[in-house]
Every structure is written in structure tokens, then in C-alpha cells.
Structure 1
């Protein structure tokens, strides 16, 4: 792999703009090379033979550069560049920092203008890299000081909690064998009600830890639960520091996550430093090769003497963070601590690729078998066709919606990976647990094999006269399939991507409990997926009705279709996803994190009114209801489309560098964005099939048309997913946000935070 591609793949995606623009500098070098190769064809023909014959001989008479030194007495005569350093003030921080400028000494030669442009751009890139690195180093040093204070408070809290537990023991001595108490030996040298001093004895250090810090802090580590949220609403939650083991455990977990994220940021900075230094070395060596000059040594000497190479704060912080983490959070187990801090990269497994191909092949074979079974027995013309579409089809179509959604998500993951959208960071997945597109395809393809096999078995048992006595068992196949999928989803064993399953279940629980939990991006992203799976939720309702009321024994869904309770519940089922999103918007607005959430909540409220009016019209008909359904749906569609294109996708910006798009785009072809906007508007109008009575078309069964409309909405959601996460990624890039912000467990009453 060429260095340019390797350089691009190893960049931190959110810091891409801060890296040296290697490709552009390489383009400038290509222009210099083309200029130097400018002689006419006749000159080339005359000089080719002579140059080829003298090239090797000429190299034999070049000056010897020496074995111990790269410089010679005549090097000053061959100087190409000189580096000057000037102090430039930093307006934000009120400090001065050096700015490097290269003086090109051969600018009067032919083609020197191009080389002068190259060095100017090279200086800009180098100063950009050094300034960014300096800024980030200052940030991590400031964060390190904050973590120092947090660790002092945590250790004091640990001592206080254990002292309260064993208050009758004086002096106190604890021997640590577990990770709950990180101190090897703790001896109490002085005890009083107002002041306690604990002497810490370690193999490497001996210092005094004061418990006075507990008088100036408040604990923020109480786990968020629906009960705690309700208490905070009624202002009955005591925010004072409570010395108990549960809060100690919660504080320790928060601080542990903070150390993990801080270590990751340090590793990003270390990698950023190394890659950029290596890139400057490569580009200067390429310059020397093209121009036959000797400028690389001078320039790289300046690079080595700059802050980029000389600063060692990051390396020292990495060592200290690792030592602290191993001592205080890994029970002195270095291997365990380093596995947490430096997780191994997830490797591609060939068996996943093989199984995906195998399952897709089986799925195609089953589809062909189902089509042949229906065609050979004239099932579409039989009397059982209507009965089958009213009962069995809704049961299996639910799985079809789920598989289609998974296929769209697999496509999203593929393109997110291809265009380096950091979806695992945006979703907050643990390193190494995110599903790649092949793994998503494996889940969807294996599930499709189960579904198609059950459908084929169901058809064969229905159409075969020898199995007519087993109709009850035939009807139980969909229920068995649902049971199997649910058991796999809640399986406690570490199989079938347990971390992902539990992550989704945790997000689902927070969605159900909205607005009692703080809303994160995975929560409202999952809730948005359910707004496009209303028909799947109605299929679940049909499962409960069909099997709960015993209609499966006679294959007749008349009880469900004629029940007023079933119809009323159907309205509530359709509203639930939008109501969850509305409550999430209310919670985010209440927290003050985003003032636009009030309008977003209004958007979902308008959608709730539109869904209710369309469902009522679909059940009762009537001109008045039709007008209400059409008007409310039209308003909701305009509102939602505006929000999709402008707020969620960040498009339709007239003053953008890319007219009617946004300043930064990931996809190279701009027309794709306009196509996506048009498709989004068209698919948003799928509700018109309800108002215009397309469901009554004679050429297609009502349930089949409903399934098609629901599939179009799932496809629209899949398109929305890509551009929504693309916009989120670009926002992170604009703020250079590459690691998660973890709330610290302790806050301080004073502003200076000096303990």
C-alpha cells in the first residue's frame, strides 16, 4: 500500500482536517516534476542515448558523503533552503508561539516559482500541525489535572466508606485482595471528627492523603434511574455526599470510564504526532528525489527541533495513566488493565464471509422453491388464497420488515466504513463490539433462511392433503419462530453477539421509559427506527390477538378484524413510536442541551395527530375524516421533510460552498444528495395511499399493498440513516471531537477547584 493511502486510513477521522495535507503537497510535486520534464520531443530523442550511457559513469565520480557524517565542506554551496522562526502571538491564550517559515534560495532558477509555492504550502501545513498538537496537549494537561483532583476525592471517599464500615477498629489496617480497594496498606495515624489523615504505604511511594477534600465536593455518581429522575423533578433528591458503597461503586465506574477515554485521546495524539512527522519526512524525501536537491535534511532538522518532536508530555501522561489505571482499577493486574486501555483491533473472520454467502444462497433457493410451489399448485387462484393473506401473511410479513431493515442497515454500515464515518464512536459502542456490514448481513441472511424455511413448510403442509390433520401445528410455526428469535435476543450466554444484543435492549428500555432517562444519540436513533416500523408493531398486535383469542385453531382472523378494542389498540400502537420521540424531545429541551428540541417535539406531535386521523379514517371512512386526514398528513409531511433535509441532514444551505448542500460533503458525487432529497420527499408521501383508497385496489390484496408501503418507508429510513450519521460525523469533525465526553463523578463547591 502506498504511503498516501496508508496515511489516510490511519488518521483519526474527526481530526482529518488537522493532519498534513499529504495529497495536495504530492500534487504540487507532480507539477514540479512535469515542469522539469518539459523539453521537446526532439531534444529528448537526442539526449536519451547520451544520458543513458553516461548516467552510470557519472554516478561514479560524485563526491563521497562520508561514513560518519551526512555533511561535507561543500554543503554550504548546495544550500537550498533556510528556516527562520518568528514569534507569533496567540490571541486566545495570550501567549506567543513560534511560527516557522522556509526561505527558498533557488527561487530565481527556472521553475523556482513552483518550488516556492510548494514550500509556502509546506510551511502552512507544518504550522497547522504544530499549533493543533500544542492546543491538544494543553487540553490533555488540563484534563490530567482535573483527573488528579478526581482521584484524590475518590481515594478519600474509599477511605471514608471503609472507615464507616469498620468504625470500631483503631488503628485501621486494610489488606487489599480485590479491586474494590486499591490501596495495598492503609494505616490510620490520626483520627478526629473534623480531620483525618491517612498514611498510604506503597512499594514505590509514601504520601499523606487528607480527607478534607470530602468537605468541598459533591458526588455526581448516583446512577440514573426512573426513580431518581422522578425525585429530582420534585426536588426531593439529596445531592449531598453520602458515604455508602453504592455511590462509591458508581463514582469508581464513572472515573474508570473517564480514564479509558482519556487514555484513548492520548493514544490518538501520539499517533497524530508520529504520522505527521513521518509524512513530512516522506514528502521531503520525495521532493529531493524529484528535484535532485538536498533540502530534506535541513527541513527535517527543523521538524526534529520543533515542539512536535521535542514535547514529551503525551508520552509521560500515557505512562502515568496506565500506571494509575493498573493500580487503582485493575487490582495491580497489568495484563487486565492494558487489555481494557488498549483493546485489540477487531479482525475480519473468513467464516463470516463464508456463512453469509451460504445463507444467501440458501435464501435464494428457498425463494425459488416457494415460487414453484405456489405456481405448480395454482395457489393464487385457490379459495385458500384470501384466507392465507388475511392470517398467515401478516404473521410472516413482520419478519420480512425486520430483515429488510437489517439489509438497509448493512448497506449503511458498508458505506459508513467506506467513507470513514465513525459510526461506532457516534453510537457509543465499546471498542471491538460494533457490528460490521458482513456481520449484519450474517444476522439478516440467517434469519431469512429460518423465515423462508418456515413459509415453505407452512405452504407444503397447507397444500398437501396428507397433512390436513396437522393444521393446528401448521399455525403454530410463526409463533415458534417468534419465540426462537426472542430467546436468542435475551440469551445470557456470550454467543450471537451478546454485547450488541444487550446494548440494543438497554437502548430499548430507555426508550420505553422516556423521559425518565437522559437521552443519548443511540436512544433517539433507535426510536426513529421504530417510527418506520409501525406495521411491524401492528403485526405484533395481530400475533397477540390471533393466538391469544384462539383464532389460529380455525385460521380465521374475523375476531380481530371485527373487534373495536383491537382497532382502538391499533391506533395506540401506531402512535407509540412518535410519542416516545416526543417525550425524548421534551427531556432534551428540559435539560437545556438543545433549544431546537421544542420544535422537534412539535414535529412529532403533528405526526401523532396525522397518524391518528389517518387510522380513524381508514377504519370508519367519511368525507370529513378524509379531509382531516389529508390536511393533517400534509402538514406533518411538510414539517418532517423540512426537518429531515435541513436539521438532520444539514442540507439546503444557499450560502454553502456547495450550493443547496453543505460546506463539507463525504460523498464525491454531489448529485446523490439531490437524488436522496427527491426520493425522501416521494417516499414521505406514502400516506396518500390511505387517503386515496389505494388499499381497495382489486389487482392486489390489501395486506400485500400495506406491506409494500411499509417496505418503502423502511427503505426511506435506511436512506435517512446514512445522511443523518454523516451530518453527525461532520459536526464531530468540525469540533475535532474524537472521544466521548464522560461526566466526572465529583463536583466542587468553589470555583478554583484547588484542593
Structure 2
């Protein structure tokens, strides 16, 4: 593999602009080679003015900033570990001392108070009736098991933060929304604290590996570009260049000398903490689990390109997925043909029953197919959608090179997963239309869908065990969506909610299905007769409305959450007025409210899509008029001018126009009242266009989130730490080491201080340009409002690798290449 391709496949997407622009360097060399200039001028223009002054300065400054961030995280972890070890020592002391007064003198005040409370509670408990106490104990045990099950599957309900004191179940998870390291709301037990610290240390270990990968790639890139310059112009600048950078640039100095490399020191310290300090009093099995877990990450960091492609299964998965898509498409075309050519004899069965029901299921599968296409677009444009959606630390299973290779993505696997639903659905729909009957084909498909979701891990279907986390994510997110308001809104909840808002056609058809099997045959089960269809069509907007309220109560920020809630309340009003219009058989008195709510809803949502969700129309006077400064979907910039190509930028203008037009699709119902009476074709076409609109919306919405991550240099999930800032501040003087030595890291200040790189700043321009006005704070909030639609999930690896066998299995390179889920 050429280095340019190697670099492209290995960069951290959020740091892409901070790497050496190797391709640009090759273009500059080619342009210089076409001229007639002396070698001295060439060296000055390329080596001094571009390589050293621009590229090397950029990379080295960013590397210094990364070192400073590593040092901050290291200090936080060290303080947390000190307190953990102190609390463990106090706990051991408490167990060994029986005299309460002596205990009060020797324990820390906090633990003494906790011990007194426990003793008082134990004395009261002894007075209870034995049988009653046994019942209570068993009940509490079962309740704790059930609560822990819900917690592990992210299904434990909770009240908003402002009401958390009234919560029936105390929450121990970290505060969501802050960057990288969170503090727990309550001080957990020592066992829980150990787990939380172990997870945080692994996250930091992976982060250090990312920084080291960044450094190594750039060092190799600078050597190669200068070597290419020497080869092209027959010069000998590489030795001179290396002598200069090895003496003056920390990016090179630290990569050559491990004694002054802070990253190596961080790795050694974290390894010692993780392997020794946290398992000091643990069993041999616990220590072995820690060893296997750390070894797994080290193994995957060393994976090379040949190993990735030798264990590649994506081609087979794509082939099977492509065959399945082709079969499904042919069978779907047949159903459309039957609908268009239907006679008056079987018109009711096909138009009122078969087409709406099978069309609703096909719409869901279409959305799944388009989502995979979205993933491919993000993959090609280096948008790290997996981190945005699933909170991965760039790669859930460790830092590794070639992480942007298509062979390591889950796109083929997800397509393979989808066709196991699409092909049976299309085939059963074909039989249903062929024989003009819904039973038993609908029930066969429903049974098959449920069976696939519940299929065990060790399945006879190839690769089905790799899709366990995908199925779990879909199921858990669906449950959390239906119970919106009872859970904090994370990305999956918000994302699934918006997708479901575009599937009102499919959800409303549930009423048709129930009507067909619960009424007398021949009963009209269309939207002009069923109020339940109107209620179901309002549910998606209601769920999102509740999520917006939950975000408001969790964050105490009225903007943008209350305005967003208003948008979805308008969606509820629109769907309700549409249902009323249908039930009234397009009466004029119901038509006017429908038009009013339809107009308000379309205008509201169109502006929100473009300005808030996509962050467009905010940069009015910039070089990308009405767009952002960062346009990943526009491809690479012109290497001479540094601007995006006009034809590439046009995709954003087209998307804005298409989004507005499709938002006003309801006009079809207003200008052609006869189509309101559940015209199967009209309803299906409008539902299809809404799915297409959502497909476009998703592309730009995830890109906008990625832009925010890029400007925050955010590449890792948030780790929940056990002890709050106040406790850290009060006990940070503790140095609980048996030998008396501290673990303070001694690194020269010059290696961790920034040499010019600025803190991440806003990527966008304000919408309003008013000085000292009430709009100032509001306008500054708009560019980042999209990032507050959800709160950041806490990294939780406590469920990972709970046994030695799981650790061994996940270390298998073949498992890694197959998706590792």
C-alpha cells in the first residue's frame, strides 16, 4: 500500500486537518518540477516555507496540545486512584477493629459516620421478626437483580436531574454532557469504584495510543515527503532536515528517545495501576481478566494491513447482501404492478388491506437500506459516524491502524443483517398479492421477524453472532423511545425518534392490521374510518416532544429544547388535523385548520432542519455563502486556492431546496381532496418521499455533529469517575503507597505545554450581528444548538470481558475483522 493511502486509512477523522497533508505535498513537488528554478529556491519554497513553517509547525503544535490533554487526564486519574486506595485501606482497617470508639479515632471522619449509621441499622434489623426479615431480604435481592439487569441494558428509568432527589432508585452514573471525564453523582462502593477506575484507565490507555499513532504517522510522513523531494530534484535535504527536527521538534525527539517520551511513561504508569494497584487484593482470576483485557488492546494496536485483509469477510457479506437486494427489488416491483393493474373486483383487498400493510413494512426496510447507504457516504467522506452514534473511542475494540478501511467497517455486516428481513418480507408479499389474501403470510413474516431478533448467539446462520449488539441496540433503543420521558435522551434515542417521525405511514398501518383481524370481513379499515390511525400517526411526534421536555429538565436550558418541543407539538397538531380532515371526508370546515397547521409545521420544521440541524444559512458573508466553513461532503479543497469546488458545494444548496419542497408535500392532499380518502398509491408515494427526505437529512445532520467534534478535537467517549471534585480536593494530599513513594509524573514542562495552538473555538459564524443586545447570547448559541439535542453517554465497559473466555475470544483477529460485535 502506498503511504498516501496508508495515511488516509489510518488518520483519526476528528484530527484529519492536523496531519501532514501528504497529497498536497506531492502536488507541490509535481508543480515545482514543471518549472525552471534553482535548487536553492526550491528548498526555500518547499522545505522551509511549506514543510517546516506550515506543516511541521501545525503538527507539532497540535501534538503539544495533545500532550497537555494527556497530562490533565493523567493527573485526574492519579488523584482518583489515591482516594480509592485510601478508602480501601480505611475499609480494611474498619473490618479489623472491633471497638467503635477506637474506630472513630483511627478512621477518616466520613467513613466513621458511615460505620455508625450501618451499626445503627444493623441493631434495628435484629429486632425484626425472622420470617418477615427473610421475606424482605429475598424481595430486596430479587429487586436488586432486576434493577441491575435494567441498568446493564440501559433500561433503568429515572427522573430528570432537577427531581433526582425524589428518585426511587439512586443513580450512580456520571453526569452526562461534560467532556471526557465525568464525576459520579454519588460516592459508590469500593467495588464499583474499582470498576469505574478500570474503565477510565482503559479509555486513557486507548487515548494515549491514539496520540502515539498520530505522532508516528506524521513522523513517517515528513520523512517520506522530504525523501520524495530529494528523489525528484536530486538533492540531499533529508539528513539536514532530520538533524534539525531531531534536535528541535518534540514530535521527532520523543519518537526517537523513550526516556523523554511522556506517552511511553503514561502507558507504563497506567499499565502498572491497572495490573497491580487495582488488583492488589483481588483473586487470581481477576488479575488474569485484567491481563487479558490489556493484552487484547495491545494485540489490536499491532494489527497490520495484511492481517485485516486476510481475515476480511466484507466481500462475501456484500455479495450476499447484493443478491438479497436484487431479489427483494424484483418482488417489490411485482407488488407495484398488481396495485396499478388491479380490477374493481379485488380493488378493496389490494388497495385497502394488502398494499398499506406490506407497504408499511417495506418502508421500514427501505429506511434501513438507505441508512446503510448513508453509512457508506460517511465512510467515504471520513465522517466518524460510529463514534457519534455509539460513543466509541474511535474503535470500541481498541486503537488500531487502518481503522478507516472499508474492510473494518460494519456496513457489509449490517446490509447482510437487513436482507434476512427483506427477502422473506418481499417473498411473502409476493404470495399475498398473488393470491389476494393476507393470512397466513402476514403472520408468517411477523413470526420470522421475532424469531430472528430472539435468535441465540450461537446461530446456524453465518455471522449471526456478530450482529448480537446490533439487535440489542435496536431493541433497547425502541423500548427507550416508546417510554420517552423516563430516560435521559442519548444519541440513539434522539436519532431513532427522528427516524420514526418519518415512518408515520408504517406506524399508522398498525391500526389497519388490527382492524382487519378484529372486525367483520368487508369493514372499511381505511384512514377515513379509523380514528386510531390518527392517534398512531401522532405518536412519533409525541415521543420526540417528551424527549425535548426531558432534555429541558435535565439541562435547565430552555434553548433549544423548548423551541424544539414546540416544533414537535406542531407536528402533533398537523397529524391530528390531517386525520380529522380524512374522517370528515374532506369537509371544508376541516380543510382550513389542516392547511393552517400544515403550513406552520412545514415552515417551522424547514427552518429548523436547515438552520439548526444542518447549521446552514448562518454564514451569510463567508466564502461559502449560506454554508459552513467545513463541508466534508464537498470533498477536498482546491489545493491552490484552499476553497471548495463550486460544483461540489452545490449539493448543499440542492439539499436545502429538496428538504423544503418535501416538507410541503401535504399540499397534494389540500389541492386534490379526492386523494385524501386513503388513496393507496398517493399515500405510499408521499410516505416514500418523506423517507427520501429523511435519508438526506440524516447525511447532513451527522456531518454537522462531526464538524462539532472536529472543532472540539473530540475522539473519546466520556468516562465516569467515582469521586467528586470536592472529595478529590480534600484528599489529594494522600499518597497511599506502601513504599512511601508517590506516582507524580516528572516530565519537563516543555514537553507538555502548548507552543501556540489555541483552544478549540466556534466553527461557525453567529446568525445575528448585534452588539450589546439581548440577541448576543442567543446568536452565539445557535451554531452549537444541534449538539445539545442529546447528552453524551458515559463510557461503560463494566459488562465487557467479565470472564476469561470472553477475553480470549475477543482477542482473535478474525473476530475483530468480522465486526467484533
> Does the C-alpha gap of structure 1 residues 559 and 723 become closer, same or farther in structure 2, counting only changes over 3 Å?
closer
State the partner residue of 1:633.
598
Residue 331 (str. 1) matches residue 287 (str. 2): yes
> Does the C-alpha gap of structure 1 residues 239 and 660 become closer, same or farther in structure 2, counting only changes over 3 Å?
closer
Deviation at 1:29, TM superposition (A): 2.1
CA distance in 1, matches of 2:184, 2:42: 70
State the partner residue of 1:388.
350
Structure 1 counterpart SS, 2:720: coil
Residue 295 (str. 1) matches residue 269 (str. 2): no
Normalised TM-score (structure 1): 0.75
Pairing of 1:77-226 with structure 2 (within 5 A):
112=41, 115-116=44-45, 118-123=47-52, 124-156=54-86, 167=95, 192-196=103-107
Q: 8 Å contact 2:391–2:717 — kept in the other structure?
A: no
State the partner residue of 2:504.
534
Q: Write out per-residue CA displacement over residues 149-191 of structure 1, whole angstroms, 9 at most, x where no aligned residue.
A: 2233444555667888xx5x669xxxxxxxxxxxxxxxx9x97
Q: 1:581 aligns with which of 538, 544, 547?
A: 544
Number of aligned residues: 625
Q: Write out per-residue CA displacement over residues 225-254 of structure 1, whole angstroms, 9 at most, x where no aligned residue.
A: 765426961634679999999855554444
CA distance in 2, matches of 1:400, 1:242: 44
Larger radius of gyration: 1
Deviation at 1:688, TM superposition (A): 1.7
Deviation at 1:687, TM superposition (A): 1.7
Structure 1 counterpart SS, 2:165: coil
> Does the C-alpha gap of structure 1 residues 542 and 318 become closer, same or farther in structure 2, counting only changes over 3 Å?
farther
CA distance in 1, matches of 2:409, 2:227: 40
Alpha-carbon RMSD: 3.7
State the partner residue of 1:319.
268
> Does the C-alpha gap of structure 1 residues 353 and 226 become closer, same or farther in structure 2, counting only changes over 3 Å?
closer
Greater Cα shift, 728-737 or 382-391: 382-391
Structure 1 counterpart SS, 2:666: helix
State the partner residue of 1:475.
439
Deviation at 1:528, TM superposition (A): 0.5
State the partner residue of 2:654.
675
Pairing of 1:630-669 with structure 2 (within 5 A):
630-652=595-617, 653-666=619-632, 667-668=634-635, 669=648
State the partner residue of 1:399.
361
CA distance in 1, matches of 2:229, 2:166: 69
Q: 2:415 aligns with which of 441, 447, 457?
A: 441
Deviation at 1:321, TM superposition (A): 2.2
CA distance in 2, matches of 1:227, 1:711: 35
> Does the C-alpha gap of structure 1 residues 690 and 732 become closer, same or farther in structure 2, counting only changes over 3 Å?
same
Q: 8 Å contact 2:509–2:533 — kept in the other structure?
A: no
CA distance in 2, matches of 1:749, 1:575: 46
CA distance in 2, matches of 1:159, 1:242: 21
Structure 1 counterpart SS, 2:721: coil
Q: 8 Å contact 2:230–2:238 — kept in the other structure?
A: yes
Pairing of 1:199-598 with structure 2 (within 5 A):
228-229=158-159, 233=163, 235-236=165-166, 250-305=192-247, 306-308=249-251, 309-310=253-254, 311-327=260-276, 328=278, 331-333=287-289, 334-339=291-296, 347-364=312-329, 366-367=331-332, 374=338, 380-381=342-343, 383-428=345-390, 431=395, 436-462=410-436, 475-493=439-457, 496=464, 497-547=467-517, 549=518, 551=520, 554=521, 556-558=522-524, 566-567=530-531, 569-592=532-555, 595-598=559-562
State the partner residue of 2:135.
none
Structure 2 counterpart SS, 1:628: helix
- Specify every segment of 5 or more residues in structure 2 that has no aligned partner in the other structure, as ranges: 116-147, 173-182, 255-259, 280-285, 398-407, 636-647, 734-821
Flag the structure with more relative contact order, 1 or 2, with Cα contacts below 8 A and sequence separation at least 6.
2
Pairing of 1:608-627 with structure 2 (within 5 A):
608-620=572-584, 621-627=586-592
Deviation at 1:531, TM superposition (A): 0.6
CA distance in 2, matches of 1:523, 1:487: 24
Residue 740 (str. 1) matches residue 717 (str. 2): yes
Deviation at 1:550, TM superposition (A): 5.3
State the partner residue of 2:13.
13
> Does the C-alpha gap of structure 1 residues 639 and 415 become closer, same or farther in structure 2, counting only changes over 3 Å?
same
Structure 2 counterpart SS, 1:506: helix
More strand by proportion, 1 or 2? 1
Q: Write out per-residue CA displacement over residues 610-635 of structure 1, whole angstroms, 9 at most, x where no aligned residue.
A: 22222212222332321211112111
- Specify every segment of 5 or more residues in structure 1 that has no aligned partner in the other structure, as ranges: 39-108, 172-187, 198-209, 216-220, 463-470
Q: 8 Å contact 1:35–1:111 — kept in the other structure?
A: no
Q: 8 Å contact 2:374–2:699 — kept in the other structure?
A: yes
CA distance in 1, matches of 2:490, 2:185: 29
